[in-house]
Amino acid sequence: MSELTIFYDGTCPLCVKEMNALTKRDTHKHINTVDIYSDEFSRYENIDPDKANTICMP
């Protein structure tokens, strides 16, 4: 089970590149990355994808 879930915009090439790089370095599988426009995201019914897409981390 993941210790951290990061939601990202899968339509953003930079976001996809960063999540791919992060996933490659996460050899112990502690991080789960979820595209907010993917079918997997539907499991997170309590999160609005449009609102989530407006939140940026520095």
Q: What is the pLDDT of residues 27-49, one digit of tens each?
A: 999 999 999 999 999 999 999 98
- 13 lies in some domain: yes
- 57 lies in some domain: no
Residue 23, CA atoms < 13 Å, CB-side half-sphere = 14
Range of the domain at 14: 4-52
- 23 lies in some domain: yes
Please tell me the pTM assigned to this model.
0.83
- Three-class secondary structure assignment of the chain: CCCEEEEECCCCHHHHHHHHHHHHHCCCCCEEEEECCCCHHHHCCCCCHHHHCCCCCC
Q: pLDDT category, 2, cuts 50, 70, 90?
A: confident
